[in-house]
Chains A and B, each alone.
Chain A
Amino acid sequence: DAKTTQPNSMESNEEEPVHLPCNHSTISGTDYIHWYRQLPSQGPEYVIHGLTSNVNNRMASLAIAEDRKSSTLILHRATLRDAAVYYCILIGIQGAQKLVFGQGTRLTINP
């Protein structure tokens, strides 16, 4: 599985946008970029995923670089409930959907 690199931690203020970066320079052409997050004392939950084009859903937006070697998860207006560990994970099209978790980015939201 291709490796991803994320900052260990980030901090932001409530009601401000948050941009969480992820580097995946060894991504293959068929790897999908998935984001999950783990709220305190809970199991991870799916956030968003994409292949080449930018994606939006009710939780977040995913901006994918043109060369696909990096991506950014965007929380448009962070709330205290968004404080979590965010994981960027690559899943191949032939993959068994098993998730290989890195260390993720611990996001702290200040009130």
Chain B
Amino acid sequence: SAVISQKPSRDICQRGTSLTIQCQVDSQVTMMFWYRQQPGQSLTLIATANQGSEATYESGFVIDKFPISRPNLTFSTLTVSNMSPEDSSIYLCSGSLNYEQYFGPGTRLTVT
């Protein structure tokens, strides 16, 4: 199994600023992903974090807005850039190991 932690757990930010969210896994997972969950909604995949190379973004998400790094098999960061109130969401990272995907507790972001 894998245990995933995220930092910060929540933050309140001003529009126009950027926030970097860290995701740490306690074991070497095969793949890591970032999701967004807007209030009252389901999860939407932002991108697959690839080790040592550029992330693979889903339709509607771009690198300039959501730069992602994954320097090794157990760590990844997601930056939410030039934030607006529409970016207020919960951001979750996950890691896959065998047939299971493990999720972090999420980072609750509020943009004012």
Residues in chain A within 8 A of chain B (CB atoms): 32, 34, 36, 38, 42-46, 49, 85, 87, 96-104
Distance in angstroms between the alpha carbons of A100 and B35 in the assembled complex: 10
Residues in chain B within 8 A of chain A (CB atoms): 4, 30-31, 33, 35, 42-45, 48, 92, 94, 96, 99-106
Can you list 26 A-B contacts (CB < 8 A)? A34-B99, A42-B103, A42-B105, A43-B4, A43-B92, A43-B104, A44-B43, A44-B92, A44-B103, A45-B102, A46-B102, A49-B99, A96-B31, A96-B48, A97-B30, A97-B31, A97-B96, A97-B99, A97-B101, A98-B31, A98-B45, A98-B48, A99-B45, A99-B94, A103-B42, A104-B42
Choose from A34, A85, A100 the contact partner of B45 (Cβ within 8 Å): A100
Nearest residue (CB) in B for A87 is B42
- Number of inter-chain CB pairs below 8 Å: 51
Distance in angstroms between the alpha carbons of A17 and B112 in the assembled complex: 45
Q: Which residues of A contact B103 (CB under 8 A)?
A: 42-45
Q: Which residues of B contact A85 (CB under 8 A)?
A: 42
Choose from B31, B42, B100, B102 the contact partner of A101 (Cβ within 8 Å): B42
